[in-house]
Chains A and B, each alone.
Chain A
Amino acid sequence: MNLEVSIGGLKMKNPVMTASGTFGYGEEYEEFLDLNLLGAIVVKGLSLQPKEGNPPPRVVETAAGMLNAIGLQNIGIERFVSEKIPFLRTLNTPVIVNFFGDSVDEYSEAASRLDGVEGIHALEMNISCPNKQAGWAAFGTDPKVTCEVVSAVRKRTTLPLIVKLSPNVTDIALMARVAEDSGADALSLINTLTGMAIDIRTRSPKLANIRGGLSGPAIKPVAVRMVYDVFKAVKVPLVGMGGIMNADDAVEFIMAGASAVAVGTANFINPSVAGEIALGIAAFMEREGIGDIRLLKGAAHAV
């Protein structure tokens, strides 16, 4: 049976990766699963300089989901390279570094700093974060800005470049085409949906940051639809995510058009789940008599 997939030049032994920000720097999960079972590990989003993040409360549970406003807290690229990469390099699983900046220059600098580092196999560019130069509107919501920042990063790295799309747009297929035309080797989707919750007793927002990103099972139908739409619009491979809790959910994303999938919030509910999903996809293929995972990709488009 073949579970191998390739994402913009990155070969993975199976299609299951972890979603950025939900798997720490990998080491936090070592005791809970065999990290070598994974297709790839995607680490918490990094920036050139360490970032402190938002004040608490940062997470709040909602119906079948959660809102988070971590504010991209991270230890910065230098500490990641010196403190976290040595452990990750002992694994037989490729490492994808998610990164962001608050200006086009910062994105490019970060990409070029990560480019030469041994033990980093691909980059995932988070464009759902605010742009200092453009009044803090997200890089991923204005096609012109998206084109500018992705093109700039493309010039500074030879690693496979995955652009992670924001779902907080009117036409995600358009944004996907822009990212593809600007040099993305692959696209990942979806990032969290902007949301909010109010405590009606205190009449105040539940998150200190007021707005947060919605993730978990609640967003899965939206995410599946977006993968389905983007699959029709572009040629580059897709990494699908958003509410994947088990192997069946993962297969659903693959049938919508994803070449690979990422497991996010589910890691909080069951820290071994990413490995279980990798095994579960194989079991599904076995039951269905499918010899190659690639035969499932986009299956829902046949009808």
Chain B
Amino acid sequence: MSRAFRAEIRENLPLNRNHKLLTLAPLDPMSEPQPGQFYMVEVHEGFDPLLKRAFSLFRRTPQGMQLMYRLQGRGTAILGNMRPGSVINMLGPLGRGYPLPAAGETPIIIAGGIGIASVFSLIETVPARAHVIYGARTRDDLFMLNELKEISKGLSVCTDDGTDGQQANVLQMLDQVLGAHPQELADAVVYACGPRPMLRALSVMTKAKDIKAYLSLEEHMACGIGACLGCVVRAKDTGTAAEDKDRQGTYQRVCKEGPVFDADGIVWE
């Protein structure tokens, strides 16, 4: 089945001054998305802006799906002005999502800022099992806290300015969570999406502590379907290709081999 489809906007709800929640109902048959996968969304009427924009699956709904987005530049501004009833062209679900935790494993799911958009559906997929760590700049940029409390085993919130939760970053929170639950976290798996410096620091920390971690990366994209080779990051194949082990990795496509990568394999440059 083709992953190109049209979707009708049902709701385009402001969450705060620069974040919105888009509720979509596909008009064509859609493939079932997995947590961590994403969509390419057309944001233009003419040829400018030209390229589709990438947005994570936020949440599957009975009628379709929701995307949560931050107003960033021109494309998201256009999307932000779209009204219910408008029809947009989309591609998806795309890429490889989060590998689900095995039965005995304890997921620790970490979101930095708009990174919540990518991990929310993962948290839903493992109800009452995940320790969730959610950090943002300020209280106003934290969303869905009540839902998150309900669907997680524990929710730890932090803000840069201390207006909600602890005044800390997600790495400090992860240290706390690990310290507080030493026995069950022997089998912890970390999942994270957020700004690149946060992910990079997380990968250093999880490696030092020998914790398995999966990180969702972003890179500029043109096609979203693996054809243009525009969206690469350097990564080693962990597991299969033994020859990659001692090399500096290869360029892998965020839209195809990613966006979720094994933290151990990412070569940060």
**B-side interface residues, number (CB < 8 Å):** 33
Residue of A nearest to B74 (CB): A61
Give Cα A245 to B48, complex, Å.
12
4 nearest CB pairs, A to B? A59-B230, A24-B227, A268-B223, A28-B227
Beta-carbon contact of A217 and B50 below 8 Å: yes
A53-B251, A272-B4 given; A28·B226 CB < 8 A:
yes
A59: chain B residues at CB < 8 Å are 220-222, 228, 230-231
Residue of B nearest to A216 (CB): B50
Beta-carbon contact of B225 and A28 below 8 Å: yes
Beta-carbon contact of B269 and A268 below 8 Å: no
A61: chain B residues at CB < 8 Å are 49-51
Contact with B along A212-236 (1 / 0, CB 8 A): 0000110000000000000000000
A29: chain B residues at CB < 8 Å are 225, 227
CB proximity to B under 8 Å, residues A185-209: none
Give Cα A58 to B269, complex, Å.
14
Tell me the number of A-to-B contacts counted with CB atoms below 8 Å. 102
**A-side interface residues, number (CB < 8 Å):** 35
Give Cα A255 to B222, complex, Å.
29
Stretch from A66-74, A79-87, A89-97 that touches the partner: A66-74
Centre residue among A32, A59, A66, A272 by max chain B CB count within 10 A:
A59
Does more than half of chain B's interface fall in helix, strand or loop, or is it mixed?
loop
A168 within 8 A of B: no
Give Cα A65 to B225, complex, Å.
19
Beta-carbon contact of A22 and B50 below 8 Å: no
Distance (whole angstroms) from the CB of B154 to the closest CB of chain A:
36
The answer, among A24, A52, A216, A270, for a CB contact under 8 Å with B89, is A270
Beta-carbon contact of B219 and A22 below 8 Å: no
Distance (whole angstroms) from the CB of B232 to the closest CB of chain A:
5
CB proximity to B under 8 Å, residues A3-28: 21-24, 28
Contact with A along B209-225 (1 / 0, CB 8 A): 00000000001111111
Centre residue among A28, A31, A58, A272 by max chain B CB count within 10 A:
A58
Beta-carbon contact of A32 and B4 below 8 Å: yes
The answer, among B50, B220, B231, for a CB contact under 8 Å with A269, is B50
Distance (whole angstroms) from the CB of B168 to the closest CB of chain A:
28
B3: chain A residues at CB < 8 Å are 31-32
Beta-carbon contact of B227 and A22 below 8 Å: yes
Give Cα A73 to B225, complex, Å.
16
B20 within 8 A of A: no
Give Cα A23 to B227, complex, Å.
6
| Cross-chain pairs A/B with CB under 8 angstroms, 19 sampled | A22-B223, A28-B225, A29-B225, A31-B1, A32-B3, A56-B219, A56-B251, A57-B219, A58-B230, A58-B231, A59-B222, A60-B220, A66-B222, A68-B222, A265-B50, A268-B51, A268-B224, A270-B4, A270-B89
A24: chain B residues at CB < 8 Å are 225-228
The answer, among A55, A60, A216, A269, for a CB contact under 8 Å with B269, is A55
Centre residue among B2, B220, B222 by max chain A CB count within 10 A:
B222
Distance (whole angstroms) from the CB of A20 to the closest CB of chain B:
11
Residue of A nearest to B2 (CB): A31
A245: chain B residues at CB < 8 Å are 47
Beta-carbon contact of A70 and B2 below 8 Å: no
A52: chain B residues at CB < 8 Å are 250-251
A1 within 8 A of B: no
Residue of A nearest to B48 (CB): A64
B42 within 8 A of A: yes
